[in-house]
Structure formats: C-alpha cells, structure tokens
A and B are shown apart, each in its own frame.
Chain A
Amino acid sequence: MSGDAIIEVRDLHKWYSGVHALKGVSLDIRRGEALGLVGDNGAGKSTLINILSGTQQPDGGSISFEGRKVQFGNPRDAMDAGIETIYQYNSMVPTMSIARNMFIGREPLKASIFGVGVMDRRRMAEEAMQALRDVDLHLRSPDALVGELSGGQRQGVAIARAMHFKSKVMILDEPTNHLAVKETEKVLGFIKSLKAMGITAIFISHNIHHVFDCTDRIVAMALGEVVLDKRVEDTSMDEVLDVL
C-alpha cells in the first residue's frame, strides 16, 4: 500500500506554545492522486502543509518523500525536492513583473560569483510566456506587473510557475479564497488539469463542493487529528460534514 506513496507522513506532532496543533498525524499520499484536505478553522490543515512545504518544522514524527526520510529546513529544501506550495494569500509580489515573479529565488543566470549573478532576462521572458501558455493562460506580456492581474490570473501564474519547475507535488492552501465565481472556476480547472500531467495535488478548501469536484480522496481533520480518510466514491458530503 505504501509502495506507491510519494509522501508518507508518520505520527507528526506540532505544538505552538501550549497549543497542540498536530496530534500525531499519519497520512500516505499516492503518486498522481488529487487529495482533498478539509477541516474546520484551526483543525491543523495549514500547519500540516507548512511542514510539508518547509515553512515550519515538526516537533515530532517523520516525513518520507519518494521513499526517503526528509527534513525540510526551509521552503527552498521542499521546492528543490519538488514540492511547490500555492498559498491563499498569494505567493506573488504584486509590484514585480510576471517574468520576475516566475523566477524569484531560481533566476537563470548568465554568470555568477558566490551565488549572485546576472539574470538571463531573455530566457526568463521566453520561459515565462511558455509556462503560461502551457497552463492555457494567455497574457499579453511577461513584463506586466502581477499587481495588474486578477486574483484568478495570479493563481494561474503561481500554478504555471510550479509546473515550470517540474514540481511533483503541488499543495494549494485555499487558493480560491476571495475569488469571484468565474475566477474560482478557472482555478478549479487548473487543479483538475494537474491529474493529466501526473502531478500529485493536495487541495485545501472550506468549500466541500469544490473538494468533491476535483479530488480523488478526501482527508478530514479535526483538532489536529485525521478523522476521516476515504476515496471520494466511498464517501459522501454528508459523511464528511458529519465528522467535522
């Protein structure tokens, strides 16, 4: 069963000065599946994915990625391993161009010393546009500021960025928050298209319809524990709402 798991979480604990936010969470995430993570406010969903994305470190337990034990000390470690995270409050800098945003921290360089070097701006522009086309997002120019884009377009750029860097796992923490209906549809479309590309997705949302709409498996959390873990076809919205 765990043979085809890309991520294995075992007995994960996290405390925030007195608050036991994760109380021994164990979870297998299979390669290529779309996992829906649901739970009430404060259930520990963000804490779990913050640990998976290297933003925070667990106080106990272990994580294996592709069969090997890993410890992500910072977001870069997770990104290098192939885990990309898209947050509810955007992982984009509004005052910077699309091309620059695409490559923050991973700029292609023409030459460098001690890690600082001259960016290959032509390559950045070209690859940015290609990456956007790949997710079917047609924007005028890679030089447009991200601040000029709509919320849905921004999430589209974030997803294009994750794809461009060949991420194996994409975590989306409430990516449709504060989006208009049409924009939400677009983002849900992106998530569904990940499957065809063989990318594992972890999708967090408070909207249970969205989760059932675009995932294969539902994991429900309550008060820092996993309280339900079933395939979509084996459960129902009522059952999920019941355990929350």
Chain B
Amino acid sequence: MRRLLKIYMEKPELAGIVFLLVLGTIFQIQSGGVFLNAQNVQGILGLLPEMALVAIGVTLLMICGEFDLSVGSVFALCPMVMGVLLADGVSFWLAFPAGLGAALLVGLTNGIITIRFNIPSFITTLGMLFVARSATVVISGGFPPMIPQGAMPRDAFVAFVGPGDMFRMSFLWFLAVAILVSLLLGRTNFGNWVRATGGFLPAAQSMGIPTARVKIACFMLCSLLAGFAGTIQVMRLGAPLPSIGEGLELQAVAAAVIGGTALTGGIGTILGGIIGAVLIRVIDNGLVLSRVDADWFKMALGGLTIFAVIVNAWLRKKARAMKVETNT
C-alpha cells in the first residue's frame, strides 16, 4: 500500500492510465473488435489533438495554481481573427500570427487582472469566457467569414498522413507540443518555478521566484494553445464558426483532473492531462460504438470526473496519514 501511494504521489496520472486500459478493453470486447480497428482509431486520433492541446495548456496552468475557463472562447476567437483577416485578403502568414496574438493578449489580460487585483482566476476567466465569445461573434458580424479557397495551408495542419493515413498532421503538431511542454515543465528551471508557484506560493516567493511573471506566462501559454487548437479545428472544418469550442473549457478541466492534476496546484503532469483527454474521447467514441444514446456522454464524463477527484483526494489523504506516521 505504502509503495503504491508513493508511486501515485510521483505519477498522479497512473490511475488514469489504468482506467484507460480497462475501458479500452471493455469497449474492444463489447464492440466485437471494432473499437481498435484502423478506421475507428483513425477517427479518435483525428479529433483528439484539438481537445488535447487545450487540455495541455489548462493542465499546465492548474499546476501553476490558476484556472482558465476562457479557453473555449479563445478556441473560437483566435481562428475568427484569422478568418476575418483571410476573408479580407490578408496573407495567411500575417493572419495566422494575428490570431495567435489575439489569444496571447487574452491570456495576458487574464493574468494581469488576476494578479493585479488579487482575485480568483476562476472569476477573471469566467468573465473572459463571455467577453472573448462576444468579441468572436462581433468581429464575425454574425456570419462565418468566407475564407478564399486555398488561403489556408491545410496540408500542413490537417491532411492525413502516416501508414494507412492513420492520423492527421494535427496529431504530429499535438505530439510536438506535448513533448515540448512536458520538457518545459519537467526539465527546465521554468518548470521548477511553475511547480513551486502552484505548490506553495509563499515558499516560491521567499526563494525569489518572480511568481507573478511565472503565472502570467502560464496564462498566456494556456490561451495560445487553446487558440492554436481552435485554428486546427477551423482548418479541418474549412470555416470559422463563432460557436465552436463551447463547453470545451469544462472538458479540458475534466481532462486535467481525471489525469491527476490537483485543483489546489502543484500536483499533476502534462501526460496526465493528455491521458484525461484521451479518456474523454474514448468514452465519447466507445459509447457511440456501443450504440448507447449520445446523451449519455455527458453523464459518463461527469461521473468520471467526480470519481477521479474522489479517488485522488482519498489517495492524498492516505498519503498524508502515512507522513504523520513517519513523524513519530
């Protein structure tokens, strides 16, 4: 038991991995082998990056001790800025960075307001959820802009690649981002500061970490990834709808939490957030395959989220009790 707890404390995503394997096996058996066939896996991998990229950013930010509910709106705003510019005949190489710039600006605003006025980021970003969504609708004028044919280099982002067209280019982008952010968190001094800031703010401050800047950087990275993910979805769909990404913020938080990220900050891994995102996609897909009414998806997602938090809280309590023992 002790050993198990120690492993858990070091690898909080472990429970998620186990759960993923169990669920995968169940779906595979239940669907008579359809779940893991090439076509279905292709379907899962094709959609995964969009949500997983958002989950990566949200996980990083939660480890830093903050929260972002505006990612779903940024997911729509960033490609809308790009789309409107493209429709005006601006080149992709200006429109794309402009969209990402808008995302960064939202992140910067979230960070500065949260820190400057010392309010919970839950509130700041709840407000930003509405502001950014509204901005998206306003700049679109209510209709999706007509993006000229060939204005977006779709091949570089959403074309099918790999053996048997197994995944889209977006999957490779996602992999690259996942590895980069994991390394950033796990191997760099910046990652150390993120964990310290989220783990115990007074200690980080007393060690001279610029905690405000660390948090703002995480807010911006989180927004940037959400905007990038939205851009990928728009390239896949061909047109920027002002309504995309609605509810995504909650799925991303669910993914992070299912993957073992603590709501209190300091604990969690990028891999955990990704596992959580995969789990959500697998449940979605598995339920469809099992011919379960699609309306059950949210029920399953909600149940799993609460279950994950309960399990995590229980494990952490056990771990604490263990510590008290070693004190005496």
Q: Which residues of A contact B (CB under 8 A)?
A: 53-55, 74-76, 79, 85, 87, 89-96, 100, 103-105, 107, 109, 112, 115-119, 121, 143, 145, 147-148, 150-151, 180
Docked complex Cα distance between A143 and B183 (Å): 18
- Which residue of B has the minimal Cβ distance to A109? B189
Docked complex Cα distance between A79 and B200 (Å): 19
Question: What are 30 inter-chain pairs, A to B, with CB distance below 8 A?
Answer: A54-B208, A55-B205, A75-B205, A76-B208, A79-B208, A87-B202, A89-B202, A91-B206, A92-B203, A93-B195, A93-B200, A95-B199, A96-B199, A104-B193, A104-B196, A104-B203, A104-B204, A104-B209, A105-B193, A107-B189, A112-B189, A115-B189, A116-B189, A118-B187, A118-B188, A119-B187, A121-B187, A148-B323, A151-B327, A180-B327
Q: Which of B199, B326, B327 contacts A94, CB < 8 Å?
A: B199
As a 0/1 sequence over residues 210 to 246 of chain B, the CB contacts with chain A under 8 angstroms (1 = contact) are 0000000000000000000000000000000000000
- Residues from chain B with a CB closer than 8 A to the CB of A100 are 192, 195-196
- Residues from chain B with a CB closer than 8 A to the CB of A94 are 199-200
Docked complex Cα distance between A90 and B205 (Å): 12
Q: In the complex where A74-B208, A104-B207 touch, is A93 in contact with B189 (Cβ < 8 A)?
A: no
Name the distance in Å between A105's Cβ and chain B's nearest Cβ. Answer: 4
Whether B187 lies near A55 (C-beta < 8 A) is no
Nearest 10 pairs between A and B by C-beta?
Answer: A76-B208, A107-B189, A93-B199, A95-B266, A95-B199, A75-B208, A93-B200, A105-B207, A104-B207, A116-B190
Q: In the complex where A74-B208, A87-B206, A93-B199 touch, is A150 in contact with B327 (Cβ < 8 A)?
A: yes
- Which residue of A has the minimal Cβ distance to B200? A93
Interface residues on B, range: 20 to 34
- Residues from chain B with a CB closer than 8 A to the CB of A87 are 202, 206
- Residues from chain B with a CB closer than 8 A to the CB of A89 are 202
Does any Cβ of A come within 8 Å of B267's Cβ?
yes
Query: Chain B at the A interface: mostly helix, strand, loop or mixed?
Result: helix
As a 0/1 sequence over residues 48 to 77 of chain B, the CB contacts with chain A under 8 angstroms (1 = contact) are 000000000000000000000000000000
- Residues from chain A with a CB closer than 8 A to the CB of B205 are 55, 75
Within 8 A of A (CB), among B88-110: none
Whether B195 lies near A95 (C-beta < 8 A) is yes
Does any Cβ of A come within 8 Å of B47's Cβ?
no
Q: In the complex where A74-B208, A109-B189, A117-B188 touch, is A145 in contact with B9 (Cβ < 8 A)?
A: yes
Q: In the complex where A100-B195, A109-B189, A117-B189 touch, is A93 in contact with B327 (Cβ < 8 A)?
A: no
Name the distance in Å between B200's Cβ and chain A's nearest Cβ. Answer: 4
Docked complex Cα distance between A95 and B326 (Å): 17
Docked complex Cα distance between A116 and B221 (Å): 15
As a 0/1 sequence over residues 95 to 128 of chain B, the CB contacts with chain A under 8 angstroms (1 = contact) are 0000000000000000000000000000000000
Docked complex Cα distance between A226 and B258 (Å): 55
- Which residue of A has the minimal Cβ distance to B63? A95
- Residues from chain A with a CB closer than 8 A to the CB of B204 are 93, 104
- Residues from chain A with a CB closer than 8 A to the CB of B193 are 104-105
Docked complex Cα distance between A89 and B209 (Å): 17
Docked complex Cα distance between A76 and B209 (Å): 8
Within 8 A of A (CB), among B250-309: 266-267
Name the distance in Å between A108's Cβ and chain B's nearest Cβ. Answer: 9
- Which residue of A has the minimal Cβ distance to B267? A95
Docked complex Cα distance between A116 and B194 (Å): 12
- Which residue of B has the minimal Cβ distance to A121? B187
Name the distance in Å between A168's Cβ and chain B's nearest Cβ. Answer: 17
- Residues from chain A with a CB closer than 8 A to the CB of B207 are 75, 79, 91, 104-105
- Residues from chain B with a CB closer than 8 A to the CB of A151 are 327
Docked complex Cα distance between A236 and B227 (Å): 68
- Residues from chain B with a CB closer than 8 A to the CB of A74 are 208
Whether B326 lies near A150 (C-beta < 8 A) is yes
Whether B195 lies near A96 (C-beta < 8 A) is yes
- Residues from chain A with a CB closer than 8 A to the CB of B199 are 93-96
Q: In the complex where A91-B203, A119-B187 touch, is A147 in contact with B323 (Cβ < 8 A)?
A: yes
Docked complex Cα distance between A27 and B251 (Å): 58
Name the distance in Å between B129's Cβ and chain A's nearest Cβ. Answer: 29
Docked complex Cα distance between A21 and B208 (Å): 24
- Which residue of B has the minimal Cβ distance to A79? B208
Whether A105 lies near B188 (C-beta < 8 A) is no
Within 8 A of A (CB), among B157-205: 183, 187-190, 192-193, 195-196, 199-200, 202-205
- Residues from chain B with a CB closer than 8 A to the CB of A105 are 193, 207-209
